[in-house]
Amino acid sequence: MIANKIRELRKKKRLTLDEVAEAVGTSKQTIHRYENGVIANIPHDKIEKLAEILSVSPSMLMGWEESDAEPEYTKRHGAKRVKMMGSVSHGEPIYDDDEYVDFINSGVDADFCLRASGDSMVGARIYDGDVVFIKKQKTVDNGEIAAVIIDDTATLKRVYYYPDEEKLILSPENPKYAPFVYIHEELSKIKIMGKAVAFQSAVR
């Protein structure tokens, strides 16, 4: 839970509420509400600033990364060019031609990135038009967000795989959308492109 993560990291770094509030550009009372979960929908620009003052990546702050080690995101060794692929759909998968169409300058340790489309991952704070950075890997742990290819189409979802049942569930982060469920021989249609490790969003 992001509220607990903010409080734990702040205390670990021995920062006061006032110090965090000043760095984020908000009030001490607002930071307190973040930590207590009273304000759950934290604006993207505030998440970026919270991550910076707490020396973590936005993705770790939101629970995407488990490691407590200082990520490359905060080391600022210099941005690199990350390849941008075609859009990935949140609602329904859209065709992906596997061609890189652009580059993003970023310090994120990722192999490529995609521009999200739709609103089915808003619960993970990924919105339409956001850039999602992907680290190539063939498998992900249950509950992690991945870019997945299905019959030459791509989608961004939380992945849950149950090998004993030969079942894979691709779950959205929006109650408006039902999960995609694949079983038995349908699994041969699925290819995990990699794990979502960070996102980049416009201020909202």
> Where in the sequence numbering do the catalytic residues fall?
120, 157
Q: What is the dihedral of CA 191, 105, 64, 141, to 10 degrees?
A: 20
Dmax of the chain from CA atoms?
A: 56
CB 117 within 8 Å of CB 87? yes
Residue positions counted in the chain: 204
Beta bridge partners of 148: 155, 192
Three-class secondary structure of residue 90 per DSSP: coil
